[in-house]
Amino acid sequence: MKTSKKMLVVVVLVLALLLIITTPVMADRSLVCEGDDACRINLLSGTPTEYTAGAPFFVLHATGMAPSEDKPVSVDHMGFALEVDGVYVEPDWVSHFATSAREGYGNHVYSLMAFNFPQGLSAGVHTFTGHWYVGCAPRMEKGGWCVDHMHPTDWNVITMTVVFK
C-alpha cells in the first residue's frame, strides 16, 4: 500500500512539473494580426502576390499522414519548411496533433508550422519556397522502394514571389 501511494505522489509531481514547464511554451502560440487571414501569405493558394512593405504577416501550413500498422508515422519526420529568399526560416511554433478514426476517415497525424514576420519585409520582390515533407513511403519514391520509411522526403514544393510595395 505504501508503494502505490509513493508512486501516486511521484506521478502527480511529474505531471505538475510538466505543466509548469510546458505552459509558457503553449501560451506563446499566437500569430501576428491575431491570425487574420488578410495577413497570411499562403503558398498553397499563391496569394497574395503583392503585400505592403514593413507590414506584419505570417505563413502557416501543415502536413498530415495516415499511419499504417507496419509503418508508423512520427510527427518528428513530417512537417513544413519555409525558405524566404533562399534562406530557411525557423518556425515560431510547431503544433503536433492526431485525429482518430471516424466515419470514412482513418487515423491521421499532423504537424502545423507557424512563421511570424512582425516587422514584415522590405520593399522589393521576395521569393517564398515551401517544402511539405513526410516520412518516405514507397508510393512517393520515384526511383523505387524506400529503404527507410521514416526518412523525411519532400512530397510537395511550391515557390512563389510576392512584391512588397
Residues 121-149 have a mean pLDDT of 74
pLDDT for the residue 17: 34
Which DSSP string corresponds to 114-158?
EEEETT---SEEEEEEEEEEEE--TTT-TTS--S-TTSEEEEEEE
Q: What pLDDT shows up at residue 164?
A: 98
Q: What is the pLDDT of residue 76?
A: 62
C-alpha cell at 93: 511554433
Mean pLDDT of all residues in 114-134? 95
Q: Is the pLDDT of residue 157 over 80?
A: yes
String of DSSP letters for the chain: -HHHHHHHHHHHHHHHHHHHHHHHHHHT---GGGG-GGGB-BTTTTB-SEE-TT--EEEEEEEEE---SSS---GGG-EEEEEETTEEE--SEEEEEEE--BTTB--EEEEEEEEEETT---SEEEEEEEEEEEE--TTT-TTS--S-TTSEEEEEEEEEEEEE-
| pLDDT for res 154 | 75
For residue 114, pLDDT over 80 is answered with yes
Q: Which three cell numbers stand for residue 75?
A: 510527427
Structural domains in the chain, CATH included, are 31-164 (2.60.40)
What pLDDT is recorded for position 10? 36
| pLDDT over 70, % of the chain | 61
Please write the tens of the pLDDT for every residue from 19-78: 333 334 444 789 999 999 999 999 999 999 999 999 999 999 988 777 666 655 555 667
The answer to whether the pTM exceeds 0.75 is no
